[in-house]
Amino acid sequence: MIDGKALAAKVRDEVAAEVEQLGEVGLATVLVGDDPASQVYITGKHKAATGVGIHANDVRLPADAPEDELLQLLAELNADDAVDGILVQLPLPSHLDEAKVIEAIDPAKDIDGLHPMNAGRLYLGRPRLVPGTPLGIMRMLAEYDIETKGAQAVVIGRSSIVGKPMAHLLLQAHATVTICHSRTVDLQRHTLDADILVAAVGQLHLVGADMVKAGSTVIDVGMNRTDGGLFGDVDPGARERAAYMTPVPGGVGPMTIAMVLKNTVTAARARRGLVSGVS
Ligand code: NAD
């Protein structure tokens, strides 16, 4: 099993050392409304940020906050020199235009890597700030010496926050990449070919054990909450066939938060004109 928890602790230590070197590093999170899951995520990110010495500012707006108010707030955070990273917790309430809000974040402070400028740079093979989940997965592959060059990689899911950036990072790491999604016909035909399989769908055990290639690496991004606890997109039985697999919980989740902190430091370094640390 790939130990995401242990690796996340290692990344947090690296970040803490960089924060100490840089002096003050500031993060601002913005939560609109009171969605319980979002509150849990924001609290987790704050705890982690404070733990590595990042100064974290927790901005909350009511669920009915007008778009102008949010855009004005982002303009202020963009202009605030003490803020290195800005994170708007998604999803936003339905009256807010998510794309417009993301585009209002200064790309240099966009630590979720969702601004078109950052997404475009990744597409062009010149990434700056990349979403934490796929970045964390690349770090896991590197840490466990899993060869990406020439590997057949299959990514299930095509979201802007996981699937698409994941596919681009793997492509940049010289894998041959297939992206599967909700309209893919015969998913198993693709997954059985995968040396590296990344499942980012949000459907409990969509990937059965018999859909996994023997000796492959399986990265389970899915987070499916049931009465029995938190489960992934991949049947845990797949670990019998896979050479490496991430558990849920304790795999991709902790790494995502650690990489968001890493991105905050990357943004802080770039804003100070320093060469960015390796992510
Ligand atoms: P999303 O809903 O935006 O995207 C889901 C994707 O799955 C879509 O692109 C869709 O085409 C694809 N899909 C749906 N049904 C499918 C099917 N039957 N076969 C193949 N593909 C199918 O979700 P997301 O934001 O990318 O997140 C995906 C999952 O990862 C969710 O469970 C989410 O909670 C989890 N997640 C975990 C972390 C983490 O830190 N662990 C971070 C982000 C997302």
Q: What is the DSSP string of 81-117?
A: TT--EEEE-SSPPTTS-HHHHHHTS-GGGBTT--SHH
How many Cβ atoms are within 10 Å of 261's Cβ, its own excluded?
30
Token look-up 């585009």 returns 103
Average confidence (pLDDT) over 263-271: 97
pLDDT > 70: percent of the chain: 99
The verdict on the CB of residue 255 being under 6 Å from ligand 1 is: no
Q: 191 with 238: CB under 8 angstroms?
A: no
The verdict on the CB of residue 263 being under 6 Å from ligand 1 is: no
Could you tell me the pLDDT band of residue 272, with boundaries at 50, 70 and 90? very high
Q: How confident is the model at residue 34, as a pLDDT? A: 93
Average pLDDT score, the chain: 97
31: which DSSP letter?
E
pLDDT digits (tens, 9 = 90+) for 26-69: 999 999 999 999 999 999 999 999 999 999 999 999 999 999 99
Q: How confident is the model at residue 278, as a pLDDT? A: 45
H or E element, residue 220? strand 217-220
29: which DSSP letter?
E
The verdict on the CB of residue 132 being under 6 Å from ligand 1 is: no
Average confidence (pLDDT) over 262-266: 98
Average confidence (pLDDT) over 226-247: 97
Residue minimizing CA distance to atom 41 of ligand 1:
253
Residue 279 pLDDT exceeds 90:
no
CATH architecture under which domain 11-111 falls: 3-Layer(aba) Sandwich (3.40)
Residue minimizing CA distance to atom 13 of ligand 1:
182
Active site residues per annotation: 45, 89, 112
**Domain residue ranges in the chain:** 11-111, 132-253
Rounded to an integer, what distance in angstroms lies between the CA atom of residue 162 and that of residue 130? 10
Strands 152-156 and 176-180: parallel
Q: How confident is the model at residue 276, as a pLDDT? A: 58
40 SS3 class: helix
Could you tell me the pLDDT band of residue 247, with boundaries at 50, 70 and 90? very high
| Least confident residue range of 10-19, 32-41, 240-249 | 32-41
pLDDT digits (tens, 9 = 90+) for 172-213: 999 999 999 999 999 999 999 999 999 999 999 999 999 999
Strands 229-231 and 217-220: unpaired
Q: 256 with 133: CB under 8 angstroms?
A: yes
The verdict on the CB of residue 256 being under 6 Å from ligand 1 is: yes
Nearest Cα residue to 109 out of 85, 130, 131? 85
Full-model pTM:
0.97
pLDDT digits (tens, 9 = 90+) for 79-115: 999 999 999 999 999 999 999 999 999 999 999 999 9
Q: How confident is the model at residue 275, as a pLDDT? A: 73
Q: Tokens in use for 65?
A: 């906050």
Q: 84 with 27: CB under 8 angstroms?
A: yes
The topology (CATH level 3) of 132-253 is Rossmann fold (3.40.50)
Residue 133 pLDDT exceeds 60:
yes
